Amino acid sequence: MLPEIGVETVDGRRYLTLTYRRRTDDSALNYEVLGSEDLATPLSNWAVQSQTMTVNQDGLSPDMERVKVRDSVAIEGGPLHRYLRLRVTQSDNG
Amino acid sequence: MKTLLRLSLGLFLLVTLRGLRAQTVAATPPAGYWKLTARGASDSMLSAPLVKRSALLARVTAVGQDTITLAADGVADGAYAPGSGGSYYAQFVSGALEGLCCRILGNVGGELTLATDGEDLRSHALGVIAAGAAGDLVRIRPCWTVADVFGADGATLQLDAVADLPTGPYLASDAILLPDNGAPGVEKRPLTISYVTGAGWRAPGSPLTDLAAQPLPPGVPFMVRRQRADPVEMVLVGYVSQEPFQLRILALAPGEDRDVAVALAHPVDRSLADSGLFSTVASSGAITASPDALNVRDVLLEFDPERRGFALPPARRFHVVGAGWHESDAAADDQILQSGAGYLLRLRGERAVRYWMQAAPVWNP
């Protein structure tokens, strides 16, 4: 399932969020939400976002989990545009 | 429909993860926000370079004069028909028509009726639409609407409301001016929409028609008229399209001139030379080369994004001589088209339908 972009207001400021579904039965898969204001920036230079938010888990199979991650940069006072992506990596023992 | 959406997106994830076995890293396309700023006491030509979330991706199984049928079970009749919730468009993702977007006028199950401007999809100028098991892919997306961008009600409204619909040729109120690319002529009258207190989005002459769901088509800008001195900022939250975009430019009759408002469909600036607006392929691009600088034919008009005022004239004019862009006598191939802005093509003289192809963005890995 492609991640879903959204907005959450925290302490009166709005932040981008990215909600995705992850497998819980494959520990070799690592999921990271990355943020950047420049699409031309190499993915390796996008900043990892680590602020997770509570999200509804209804309707998921037991081996799946829904995760919502909040951007660290507020829209108010932030750059003119900003983007999030989900990066999935697999460790060698996967 | 939801099942199909899950299937198509699940297929994406499956492909992604299968790719991981070989590549160990994969990333989803970008999604984010884009701020559109309307200057105070001014008209601002803006556009939406992000798209809304895809509703469906499916293959074409059959083609009619103005219909395509998608391999999509369970789609409710009228699910993609224009209504109070908005409008949808179909975008060809692969095949001869790749990038072309058509408004969806209605659907019966997976059969979509498209706005084709009279073109027969069975003998399309761009080529044959493949149908069947290896049929062309088509994506359905909702259009941005006036309510999406400018607010749906008094609580979310971004512009100033008016007590009554203005009258007269000039509207001394905040307003959204939507260009009419379909009509011939230059300096055409736009569709002007204001938010009327207690009523909603309305246009002069149609006080009972709710225009909250008025679509803002991809690749077409809109003018925001802001009366107060302070600027106003609209925040779009959406997705970066991964597909090329192709804008259909209508044919011109002999002796006809036409203004066509255009914008970049992706959040990536492009130089004039890389924009595809001019192509040495006769049927491609939107601009026809001029014989020389003294006999300019088609022009691209750019508006000053800093200048304040209403009904402003264009600040710069670009044309093509030979295969190169020029501003007056100076070379202009490197001039940049800004994403999120809007431009005007002033086309002069008879021609067939053209297609402006905007290539898909390419990301760094």
Q: Where are the domains of chain A?
A: 4-90
Whether residues B119 and B167 share a domain: the answer is: no
Interface of A with B in 22-61 (CB under 8 A): 29, 34, 39-43
Chain A residue with the nearest C-alpha to that of B15? A1
pLDDT at residue B172 is higher than 80: no
| A72: chain B residues, CB-CB within 8 Å | none
- Answer whether A86 touches B (CB < 8 Å): yes
Whether residues B270 and B324 share a domain: the answer is: yes
pLDDT at residue B6 is higher than 90: no
Q: Which fold has domain A4-90?
A: Immunoglobulin-like (2.60.40)
pLDDT band (50, 70, 90) for residue B170: low
CA dist A29 and B20 (Å) reads 9
Whether residues B208 and B252 share a domain: the answer is: no
Residue at which a domain ends, from B142, B168, B184: B142
As a whole number, mean pLDDT of residues A48-67 equals 93
Q: What pLDDT does residue B364 have?
A: 62
pLDDT at residue B11 is higher than 80: no
pLDDT at residue B19 is higher than 90: no
Q: What pLDDT does residue B327 have?
A: 96
As a whole number, mean pLDDT of residues B199-228 equals 95
Q: What pLDDT does residue B15 have?
A: 43
The domain of B266 spans 243-358
- Answer whether B18 touches A (CB < 8 Å): no
Chain B residue with the nearest C-alpha to that of A78? B35
Asked if the Cβ–Cβ distance from A88 to B12 is below 8 Å, we say no
Interface of B with A in 213-242 (CB under 8 A): 235, 237-240
Asked if the Cβ–Cβ distance from A7 to B238 is below 8 Å, we say no
Asked if the Cβ–Cβ distance from B30 to A83 is below 8 Å, we say yes
| SS3 at position A44 | helix
The overall average pLDDT reported for chain A is 93
In a domain, B306, yes or no: yes
Q: What is the pTM of this model?
A: 0.92
Q: What pLDDT does residue A94 have?
A: 43
pLDDT band (50, 70, 90) for residue B280: confident
Residue at which a domain ends, from B98, B122, B142: B142
Whether residues B254 and B307 share a domain: the answer is: yes
pLDDT at residue A57 is higher than 60: yes
In a domain, B38, yes or no: no
Could you tell me if B146 and B216 are in contact, meaning their C-beta atoms sit under 8 angstroms apart?
A: yes
Whether residues B154 and B137 share a domain: the answer is: no
Nearest Cβ partner for A1 among B10, B32, B267? B10
